[in-house]
Amino acid sequence: MAETSARALAFVPGRRLSLTSRILIINLLPLLLLGGGVFYLDSYRKQLLDERYKLARVEAQITAEALAGASRERQEALLIQIGKEQHMRLRMFDAQGRLWADSFKLDQPSFQFDTPGDEPWREDLARWLDRAVDTVVGADPIPDYNEPTATDADAWPELKRAREENLTQIQLRDAPDGTPVINTAAPVGLKGATLLTTRNAVDITLEVREARGTLISAVLLALLMSTLLSLYMARTIVLPLRMLANATNRVRQGRDRQVEVPRLPQRRDEIGQLARAISDMTAALRLRIDAVEHFAADVAHEIKNPLASLRSALESLTSVEDKDLRRQLNDIAAHDVRRIDRLVSEISEASRIDAELSRATFEPIDLVALAENIIGRREAREQNGRHGIVFTRPRDSVKVMGVPIRLERVIDNLLDNAVSFSAEDAPIQLTIERIDGEVALSVCDHGPGIPEDAREKVFRRFHSDRPADEGFGQHSGLGLAIARTIAEAHDGGLFASARPDGDEGACVTLTLPEAVAKKA
C-alpha cells in the first residue's frame, strides 16, 4: 500500500518546486489577476477618455468654424443638425456671455441622463463597482454634472476660461448615473462669441464595464482553478504526511520490526526531504537500539564471568584451612575485583563517549606533534618495553580537527596493541601521510597478523584475541571498539590490514579529514 501510494505521488506536476512556492503561486494567481486587471481597467478608461477629449476638441473647433461665418438662422439650423447627428447638446453665447441659442430648446433633446432610482439593481451594482475600482486605483475625484441656475457663460468654468484665454477648454463631470459628461468650450469667430458642447459618453462606461465583466469572469475562473489546485495540493501534502505519521506510529509502538518508512525518492520538495529524514532517523534509531541491546547483553556476559569467579573464591575461603591455598584464593579475588573495576571503567567510557564528542568543540591539532609527544611520554615511562618506535612523518605539519585527548587515546591504544603482539625487540612502525585530502596514521607491528576474515571482528566490543603469554583478563576487549567510535566521531575511520611490505604482522590505520587552512 505504501509503495503504491509513493508511486502515485511520484507523478505530482512541478514536484521540483518547493511547497511554499507552489502554494504561493496557486493562492496569488487570482489576486494578481484581479489587481492587474483593476489597474488595466483604470488605464483603459483613461485611454478612452483621452481619445474622446481629442475628438471633442476637434468637433468643437470644427463646429465653431462652421458657425462663425453663418447667419443666425443658419447657426440655429447647424446647432439642431449637429446635436441630433452627434447626440450632443450645443449652446451659443454672445460676446457679453448671454445664452442666445440652445439645441435642446430649439428642438427635441438628442439624449437624456438616466435617473438611478428608475434603473434595475444591476445598474446600481455596476455603479458601486465603478466607485470601488476608482477607490482602489486612487482615481482623482470627478465633480458631479449639475445644470447651473444662471444661464450666462460665467456659470460654466470652462466657458469662462475659454472666453478669457480665447482657447478651447474641456471639463469632465459625472452624470447622475455615473457616466462621464464631457463639456467643451470653444471660441466662435473674432467677436467674442463662444460655443459649449455637452456629450454624455455612455459608450466609455459600457466598454469599461464590459471589460470588467470579462475580468471578473477570468478572476472567478482563476479562483475556481486555484481552489481545485489547492485541494489537489492539500492531497499531495496530506497523503504523504498521513503515510509518514502511520509509519512512525507503527515504529513507535514497536509492533512491527520490519516497518519501512516511505522515502518518496521522486519528490524533491520539503515532503520528500522530511520523508527521507524520518526514514534515516528511524534506521539510525534502530541501529542504536540494537547496539544498546547487544551492548547490555555483552556487558552482562563480561561482568558475569569475573563475578562468578569472585563469588567462588570468596565462598571457598570460609572452608579452606591451607594458608597457601587461601593466599591463592585471595589473589584470584583481588584479580577479579581489578578486572571488574577495569571493565566498569571501560564500559562507562564506551557508553558516554558518543555523547561527549557530540558536544565537544573541535580544534586544529598538529597530528605529527601529537604523535611525537605520545612517543616521548611512552619512552619515558618505558611503556614500549624493548620495542623501538620508528616514526615516519611528512616534512611539514599535518593539521586535523578534533579533540586532542581523544585522538591521543586512539594512538595510545594502537601502540599498546602493537607492543602486545610484536615479537621481542621487534620495531614498531608509526607512519603519518596524506592520501587524497585525508590524513592516514598507521601503526604496524611484527606480530602474527590478523586473518582477513577477522579484521572487522577485532573492532567489536568485548572481542579479545590476546597473545598466549599475556595474563588472562588484562584487557577488556573494548579498546579498539572505543578507538573506532572516536575515529568515526571525527568523521574518520579505523581499519586493520596486512603489512604493506609483505612481512608478517598487522597494520591498524586511523584516517581523518585534513583541516583546510582558512584564507586570510
Q: What is the pLDDT of residues 136-186, one digit of tens each?
A: 666 778 888 888 888 898 899 999 999 989 999 999 988 888 888 999 999
Question: In this model, does residue 8 exceed pLDDT 60?
Answer: no
How does residue 2 score in pLDDT terms, banded at 50, 70 and 90?
A: very low
Q: Which of 323, 246, 240 is nearest to 5 (CA)?
A: 240
333 occurs within a structural domain: no
- Say if 82 falls within a structural domain: yes
Contacts of 414 (CB under 8 A, 6+ apart): 443, 483, 508, 510
> What is the tens place of the pLDDT at every residue in 304-317?
767 777 777 777 77
Residue 189 resides in a domain: yes
Residue 473 has pLDDT above 70, yes or no: no
What does the pLDDT look like over 86-114, one tens digit per residue? 999 999 999 899 999 999 999 999 888 87
Percent of the chain exceeding pLDDT 90 equals: 23
5 falls within a domain = no
CATH of the domain at 114: 3.30.450.20
Residue 117 pLDDT grade (very low, low, confident, very high; cuts 50, 70, 90) = low
In a domain, 271, yes or no: no
411 occurs within a structural domain: yes
Q: Which residue range is the domain that position 445 belongs to?
A: 361-520
DSSP 514: B
Q: Kindly report whether the global pTM for this prediction surpasses the value 0.95.
A: no
Supply the CATH number for residue 412's domain: 3.30.565.10
Question: Is 13 contained in some domain?
Answer: no
**Boundary (domain end) residue, out of 145, 172, 200:** 200
Q: What local confidence, expressed as pLDDT, does residue 520 receive?
A: 45
Cα–Cα distance for residue pair 68/90, rounded to 1 Å? 14
The answer on pLDDT for 212 being more than 80 is: no
Which cell numbers in the block locate residue 327?
593466599
**Looking at 200, 223, 242, which one is the last position of a domain?**
200
In the numeric block, the cell 454672445 is attached to: 94
Last residue of a domain, one of 200, 221, 242: 200
Secondary structure element (H or E) that encloses residue 366, with its range: strand 363-366
Q: Specify the number of domains making up the chain.
A: 2
Residue 221 pLDDT level (bands cut at 50, 70, 90): confident
pLDDT for 33-87, tens place per residue? 777 777 777 787 888 888 988 999 999 999 999 898 788 899 899 999 999 999 9
| pLDDT tens, residue by residue, 491-517 | 899 999 998 888 888 999 999 999 876
Q: For residue 469, is pLDDT > 60? A: no
Spatial separation of the C-alpha atoms in residues 13 and 112, rounded to whole Å: 57
The cell numbers describing 514, all together, are 585534513
Q: How many H helices and E strands in the chain?
A: 12, 12
Has residue 29 been placed in a domain?
Answer: no
Question: Across the chain, what does the average pLDDT equal?
Answer: 80
Lowest mean pLDDT among 20-29, 401-410, 444-453: 20-29
Q: pLDDT per residue over 224-269, tens digit each?
A: 777 777 777 777 777 777 878 887 777 777 655 666 777 777 777 7
Three-state SS annotation for 232-287: HHHHHHHHHHHHHHHHHHHHHHCCCCCCCCCCCCCCCCHHHHHHHHHHHHHHHHHH
How many other C-beta atoms are found inside a 10 Å radius of the C-beta of residue 302?
Answer: 21
Strand intervals (E) in 39-153:
88-93, 99-102
